[in-house]
Structure 1
Amino acid sequence: MTAILAAIRLAMRAIVRSKLRSTLTVLGILIGVAAVVIVVALGTGVQQQVVGQISNLGANVIFIFPQSTQTSGVRSSDVNRLTEADGRALVAEATSIANVAPFSSTGAQVIAGDRNAVTQVMGVSRTYFPVRGFSVGKGEMFTESEELLKAKVVIIGETVREKLFGPGDPIGQYVRIGRYPYRVVGLLTPKGQSPFGEDQDDRVLMPIGSFRARVVPSPPGRVQQLIASATDERTVDRAVAQIEAILRQRHGIAPDQDPDFGIRTQAEFRKSSEEIVGTLTVLLSSIAAVSLLVGGIGVMNIMLVSVTERTREIGIRMAIGASAADIMTQFLVEAIVLSVIGGVFGLGIGAGVIKALGGALGWSLQLPIPAVVAAMGTSAVIGIVFGFFPARRAALMDPIVALRQE
């Protein structure tokens, strides 16, 4: 222990004596450690943002959509058989389903006065709002009677309001979609972008009956999609099984046949997003780790220079009784101390950058403890690995030859 402490004192003296050389040695490790912790913190932050945004969309939301089936090698042309009646049956018969919202949409031009905008026009029921987490921030929801009578009323998003009415109040104003005028009865509470880059405020919602009658003429009751919400996030899997069983029965599809519908859950979207973000984080962390390797090579090269410059000092120490192990310990400890100093400063800079990025992005970024431990451990290992060769070279010197060195 005494020998180690003595080696640390000698290492600190050597570092203070050669400030420029020590700074250059530390710099590579510092950049590498800072890069690793920043990348990991950003990856964790992105992951949290994705999970949070998907949760805002509804963690227990289930999407039911039509898909083509194949019988005797012939693919069915009547793809969409989903109806509002299917949705009502799911609510009535499935114990794990809280609500179902019929849904149809298309891109269309919406006109107000001398302004126009191309946006998503969606036919929905009143149940769509609680299922998807939307709310009316100004004005009012269309009523049940307006929904049943296919009234020409719409609720618009904030982006559509800005495009068509600017800062003005849209409530009570009229917009035209195709040949028909629609009265604006409500303005959605802004939600911003979804995790998939969709502007959730760039939409126009109307009763689904009105959508079928005037925007995209469709058979009565037919929908493009059913959006269900499970009673709880923990009952999603059970709800999916119940949906499949009920719809197979209603559509007359045998258990051994492919269904004419598909089912996706928010959990699947979240898992896919987390896997993508996780892969990118690992990739970027690996790239950042390369700078640690470069820093380690820098430690080795500068330590080799240090050994060459201090050859006479090594000879004097050996002449007065220092063993090869003492010399090796001295230079190995010096390399480790330099690497650890670089790691500490790298963590400090990384923490500062993470805090600044968190403030700029509005994210809750934190210094990742596993990355801190890994980075500090790696910097110490780099000091040992890349300091070993210079230390060994110093330890194997012939003291007589070393003393002749000027």
Structure 2
Amino acid sequence: MGLFGDIVGQVFRAIWAHKLRSFLTMFGIAWGVASLLLLIGMGEGFRSGQQRQLKSLGENIIMMWGGTLLSNQGNLRPYKLTLEDEAEIRTQAPDVANVTGFLQRGDLKQQSQFQSAGGTVMGIEANYPTVRALPLGKGRYLNEADMKERRMVAVIGKKSETLLFPNGGNGLNEFITINGYRFQVVGVAQWIGRGNRDGDNQRVYIPLSVMQNIFPMKGENIPQDALTSIQYQPFDPSRNTEAKTEVRRIVAENHNFDPTDEESIEEWDTIKSQQTVGKIFTAMDVFLGGVGIVTLALGAVGIVNIMLVTVSERTREIGLLKALGATRSSILGQIMMEGLVLTGVSGFVGITGAAIFMGVLGLMMGDSQIGFDPPRIVPWSAALAMGTLTLCGVLACLYPAHKASMLEPVEALRKD
């Protein structure tokens, strides 16, 4: 312990003797470490934020909407997805695990005995929560009996409860009206999303059978069983392309268009989106990691210079140590230890600075960011920084340490 303390003292004496050069070298190393951790931490914040947003929709979902077709006469012909499409997808698409359809409208007014509110009203099926994320805060989900018997029941979002039942009121088992039709609230969803993103929390969910009966989709030549969207999950996320091909074939046959015509189908594959986001940020991590390693390697050049100066100034001391019996390996180890202490202190300062900055940035961001989580120290990046720093420190000290260990005691003692 005493030897280590002496070495640390010698290191800091050498640093103090060449303050500017030592400061610039240590600053370069600390800056490289901090930049590496900060950039990767911010990239991971974007990655986790995007993944969280996708997961707030549900796991491995492919969404499909109705589209517009070009007829042989050159006219545009819109089509809507239907319950028939959904039923055939369920029975004729072997790669599809779960499928659900819903009908939504944003022009329906909700009213309680206390207050009125606007928001999206969605007619959903009983299996909707198995496909889409709809965490329940209290009460129950809509069930098959609600669908079959066309019960006038509803599950409302958390913000809808706050608006319709102000002053901390509990909306569970209370009644609301939607465009004059009376519904009993049987469930209240948990808050979905973060910060001010509250559109999903101002939804009202009612049985799809009721929605299609009393609030059907508006427009001409629209089937009674028309849906706003059909959304499904493949058994295996890696077979999302096969699942989409099967679903497109079914919908194309029902609506008379070419399933290979991309313009005729509007869809969003969240699996593909997540894979793309992952590839982008992985490439960013590799690039930023490479930049950080190069920065640290350049910092090693400064360590070489400092250690060469140290060896030069301590030539007589090294000669005296060797004259008193110090071996080449002990001299080599001492110089190497000095270089590692130097790089270690710089690395510690860089990691600590990055952690403090990211912590302050996270506090400033709070919980109001959309698509971006606060940056944080990523364990593998910290391990990469310390591993690279240690390697650079060792390599940077090899030549100065070897030079010191090869000094002859007599020649060293003659050195002025």
Structure 1 residues 396 and 231, CA, compared in 2 at 3 Å: closer, same or farther? closer
Structure 1 residues 297 and 84, CA, compared in 2 at 3 Å: closer, same or farther? same
1:322-401 equivalences in 2 (<5 Å): 333=336, 336-339=339-342, 341-342=344-345, 345=348, 370-371=380-381, 373-383=383-393
Structure 1 residues 41 and 255, CA, compared in 2 at 3 Å: closer, same or farther? closer
CA distance in structure 2 between the aligned counterparts of 1:119 and 1:304, rounded to whole angstroms:
72
**What SS class does the counterpart of residue 205 from structure 2 fall into?**
strand
CA contact (8 A) 1:94 1:239 kept: yes
- What does residue 20 of structure 2 align with? none
> Cα RMSD (Å) of the superposition?
5.3
- What does residue 261 of structure 1 align with? 265
CA distance in structure 2 between the aligned counterparts of 1:22 and 1:184, rounded to whole angstroms:
76
AA paired with 2:389? S
Q: Is 2:196 aligned against 1:203?
A: no
Q: Is 2:156 aligned against 1:156?
A: yes
Structure 1: gaps of 5 or more residues: 1-8
- What does residue 119 of structure 2 align with? 119
Aligned length: 388
> How high is the sequence identity, in percent, across the aligned residues?
21
- What does residue 131 of structure 2 align with? 131
CA distance in structure 2 between the aligned counterparts of 1:318 and 1:187, rounded to whole angstroms:
81
Cα drift, residue 217 of structure 1: 2.2
Cα drift, residue 83 of structure 1: 1.3
CA distance in structure 2 between the aligned counterparts of 1:330 and 1:143, rounded to whole angstroms:
73
CA distance in structure 2 between the aligned counterparts of 1:209 and 1:303, rounded to whole angstroms:
80
CA contact (8 A) 1:193 1:199 kept: no
- What does residue 255 of structure 2 align with? 251
CA distance in structure 1 between the aligned counterparts of 2:283 and 2:34, rounded to whole angstroms:
20
Taking structure 2 as the reference length, the TM-score comes to: 0.67
- What does residue 103 of structure 2 align with? 104
CA distance in structure 2 between the aligned counterparts of 1:275 and 1:176, rounded to whole angstroms:
47
CA distance in structure 2 between the aligned counterparts of 1:27 and 1:256, rounded to whole angstroms:
58
1:6-405 equivalences in 2 (<5 Å): 13-19=6-12, 21=14, 29=29, 32-33=32-33, 36=36, 40=40, 47=47, 54=54, 57-70=57-70, 74=74, 77-107=76-106, 110-112=110-112, 115-134=115-134, 136-142=136-142, 147=147, 153-166=153-166, 167-175=168-176, 177=178, 179-190=179-190, 192-193=192-193, 200-208=200-208, 210-211=210-211, 213-214=214-215, 217-218=218-219, 219=222, 220-231=224-235, 233=237, 236-254=240-258, 257-258=261-262, 260-282=264-286, 285=289, 292=296, 295-296=299-300, 299-300=303-304, 302-303=306-307, 306=310, 309-310=313-314, 313=317, 333=336, 336-339=339-342, 341-342=344-345, 345=348, 370-371=380-381, 373-383=383-393, 405=416
Structure 1 residues 307 and 215, CA, compared in 2 at 3 Å: closer, same or farther? farther
Q: Deviations over 1:99-137 (max 9, x none)?
A: 432223344564445645453332322232332243654
**What SS class does the counterpart of residue 226 from structure 1 fall into?**
strand
AA paired with 2:174? Q
CA distance in structure 2 between the aligned counterparts of 1:106 and 1:293, rounded to whole angstroms:
60
Taking structure 1 as the reference length, the TM-score comes to: 0.68
Structure 1 residues 203 and 378, CA, compared in 2 at 3 Å: closer, same or farther? same
Q: Which moved more, 1:156-165 or 1:215-224?
A: 215-224
CA distance in structure 2 between the aligned counterparts of 1:284 and 1:203, rounded to whole angstroms:
42
Structure 1 residues 57 and 401, CA, compared in 2 at 3 Å: closer, same or farther? same
